[in-house]
A and B are shown apart, each in its own frame.
Chain A
């Protein structure tokens, strides 16, 4: 266990790096030709799988077009070589570029389709590869394949035997370093946010459209590289290499290795290459093997081999008592520059059903504005309207001086509106700290490029992200949980985490949607304290809540909605005696004389006013 503790104290990227170096050194230690070839093919497969992991495992887009991008890369490099451009670097650049174009084109359906449809259309695209090649048979050799590819060179030097092995292994190593740097960055977390829910992504200011395109584009690059490597390995390429079986092998390797992991691609590729693909020498058993692998993998291995390793590590951690010390962070709330949210005369009709009728309200900095009302009164509709998920039929919504109506959700979020969800919406596979810092994704930018190369700009933003996230965590009293897996927390903690995530964005307006539901009394108390502190720091808080007691306790102003209209606005003391509110909540018919008498009795003699407006 002491051994385990010291092992855990070295940075986690050392292990794969060492493994990579060992693979690089294998030829020096003596490696027979066929094993060397298998390793190279496994590397090529791993590159393909890695691209799929990025778009599917992380971004959640089941686009299976890897084989098509692979083909694009291979034929690009092959044709370049035939034209005399044998330099491998040039081939890499162009193969990756062409694959990227194919990746973007094949991803277009994904912008509108999801799930099965995207999976199948991209699969279909793969099956079209031989047909497309046949259409351009003049250049590609059609079904006969592309022959006459020249041996590759690197800056004029011939690459053969061991030298080419090093190129393949080196490219693979480099790609996985890139992939690791991308995933272990704010962008990696943003991908997982997108996978969890596009709604969540856009309400955090992430453009779903751009993020999907980014996933397709980056996922295509390794496929293009793999194509270029493949064509130079055999100096020949035919459409058969890019068919159904390849597509399925890539998918199988991704699932078996663990699609939401960086190095799982290597594990999965190695298994498929040295397992079923070996059996391809006994061709008839290959399909049976792959089939059994897929079924067993899908049924048994949740999260693939990488998931298995992760669970093992965390079990060992617990056994060895490995903990990361919580840093002491001040729990002071920094001043929050709250902005006024003004809703003016907003109406919305769905079909023939008027959900909101001329709703107006204002939430001011340093105040808690509560929005209450019976089921179906229009609270959720109003919230969705503020967040940009529905368009207003009429009326205006502004934050400070910015008009929100008509903006898409991610622009609304960037204008300073942060929210929590009725059911906590937290991406999988990230730590509490990462989840909280993801709240800052849209407000503070660092490019993908700078993340991959770990440039100073990226480091600066990362440091700020961490400081801000730790502060937000301290504020909700969860500093000790910073390295826990976010989705494994109990409900109450997940709700507080959402509040912390929203706070990390330093929002102008904080929308809390039924944040107390399902919490026990202690947790509600903690939450109330937190809301008070945010109010004192100058934040603007809108509380949509069922818990009447909490609302009476916290709110400075209560807005009551019923049947799509505001029926009362005012401080708690006034609202709790308002006859209209009582009759709505108790279901007493306020129109009849009998009902009026009853309400009067309940409110201690107050009369029902015409509108119930008492603010």
Chain B
């Protein structure tokens, strides 16, 4: 199912199974993310997308399968250790620290860099260049910003740690359509810096446009895995979503 491409993948997930306590949500998920490439993970809600990301980041324990980052098995590592190895996870719902300012949020994003204050400021400058709006609002409490700005802050905070791999969970969630395309555009720019991205999205069309690889999961299993140009026909996705597996052609 995996399309062949040269080089080891940045992220290699094999036969992952996970859940919450004895509630098993993810049964068998395998996927790859390559440097400078974007893999999008699609599926209805409740299909197990977020749970997959949580297990990749270490928030949920994997009960089966492996997670490898840059060739190293990280399946048993704690979340903060994975962050130090270059994995950054932007959770859904724009989870920035609402009671801290934009700048404080970014400072905390650089927690793992172990840098002096001045060097950290330079890092922050880099984020402000990427997202100028954050620079304008640096002194504001994160909780007082709009949804789109909080989303940029959440991404900026994650980028502060200089990750190799970025996990993004529904960056478009709750945003107006115009902002969705802006956020997607930014994400497209990010992968040009060599960053590998695993994106979970509900906005199918917008995300497939920036994706290199597409995986669809349903009931905790990968049901479609293909390169982005192969899934130009959205009908494939619809069948995956509504679970008819092509049994019935779409007709009048």
Digitize B164-208: 1 where CB-to-A-CB distance is under 8 Å, 0 elsewhere.
000000001110010000000000000000000000011111110
CB distance from A35 to the nearest CB of B (A): 49
Digitize A207-234: 1 where CB-to-B-CB distance is under 8 Å, 0 elsewhere.
0000000000000000000000000000
A595 CA to B181 CA, complexed, in Å: 14
Contact among A582, A587, A606 with B206 in the assembled complex (CB-CB below 8 Å): A587
Instruction: Tell me if B138 is interfacial: C-beta within 8 Å of chain A.
Output: no
The stretch that binds B, out of A254-262, A309-317, A406-414, A597-605, is: A597-605
Point out the residues of chain A lying under 8 angstroms from B23, CB to CB.
Answer: 423, 491, 517-518
Point out the residues of chain A lying under 8 angstroms from B241, CB to CB.
Answer: 548, 585-586
- The reply to whether A587 and B252 contact each other, CB–CB distance below 8 Å, is no
Contact among A588, A605, A606 with B204 in the assembled complex (CB-CB below 8 Å): A588
A-B contact count (CB 8 A): 72
- The reply to whether A586 and B205 contact each other, CB–CB distance below 8 Å, is yes
- The reply to whether A514 and B46 contact each other, CB–CB distance below 8 Å, is yes
Instruction: Tell me if B71 is interfacial: C-beta within 8 Å of chain A.
Output: no
Digitize A571-600: 1 where CB-to-B-CB distance is under 8 Å, 0 elsewhere.
000001000001001111101000100100
Instruction: Tell me if A374 is interfacial: C-beta within 8 Å of chain B.
Output: yes
CB distance from B5 to the nearest CB of A (A): 27
A129 CA to B251 CA, complexed, in Å: 81
A612 CA to B53 CA, complexed, in Å: 34
Tell me whether A587 and B44 are in contact in the complex, defined as CB-CB below 8 angstroms, given that A518-B19, A576-B242 are known contacts: no
In this complex, the member of A490, A491, A576, A586 whose beta carbon has the largest number of chain B beta carbons within 10 angstroms is A586
Instruction: Tell me if A546 is interfacial: C-beta within 8 Å of chain B.
Output: yes
- The reply to whether A376 and B238 contact each other, CB–CB distance below 8 Å, is no
Instruction: Tell me if B22 is interfacial: C-beta within 8 Å of chain A.
Output: yes
Instruction: Tell me if A547 is interfacial: C-beta within 8 Å of chain B.
Output: yes
Closest to A517 in B: B46
- The reply to whether B173 and A375 contact each other, CB–CB distance below 8 Å, is yes
Q: Which A residues between 389 and 441 are near B, CB-CB below 8 angstroms?
A: 423
- The reply to whether A491 and B205 contact each other, CB–CB distance below 8 Å, is no
CB distance from B205 to the nearest CB of A (A): 5
Point out the residues of chain B lying under 8 angstroms from A549, CB to CB.
Answer: 242-243
Point out the residues of chain B lying under 8 angstroms from A376, CB to CB.
Answer: 173-174
A603 CA to B234 CA, complexed, in Å: 12
Contact among A585, A598, A604 with B252 in the assembled complex (CB-CB below 8 Å): A604
Digitize B209-252: 1 where CB-to-A-CB distance is under 8 Å, 0 elsewhere.
00000000001000000000000001101100111000000111
CB distance from A45 to the nearest CB of B (A): 38
Q: Which A residues between 465 and 511 are near B, CB-CB below 8 angstroms?
A: 490-491
CB distance from A195 to the nearest CB of B (A): 19
A546 CA to B47 CA, complexed, in Å: 8
Instruction: Tell me if B25 is interfacial: C-beta within 8 Å of chain A.
Output: yes
CB distance from A351 to the nearest CB of B (A): 12
CB distance from B150 to the nearest CB of A (A): 14
Closest to A373 in B: B45
Tell me whether A588 and B46 are in contact in the complex, defined as CB-CB below 8 angstroms, given that A491-B23, A518-B24, A603-B250 are known contacts: no
Point out the residues of chain A lying under 8 angstroms from B44, CB to CB.
Answer: 546, 548, 585
CB distance from B161 to the nearest CB of A (A): 27
Point out the residues of chain A lying under 8 angstroms from B47, CB to CB.
Answer: 546
List residues of chain B with CB under 8 Å of any chain A CB: 19, 22-25, 44-47, 172-174, 177, 201-207, 219, 234-235, 237-238, 241-243, 250-252
A–B complex contacts, Cβ < 8 Å, 7 sampled:
A517-B46, A518-B25, A546-B47, A547-B219, A586-B237, A603-B250, A604-B251
Given A517-B46, A605-B252: 6 more A-B contacts, CB < 8 Å:
A546-B46, A549-B243, A586-B241, A587-B172, A591-B177, A604-B252
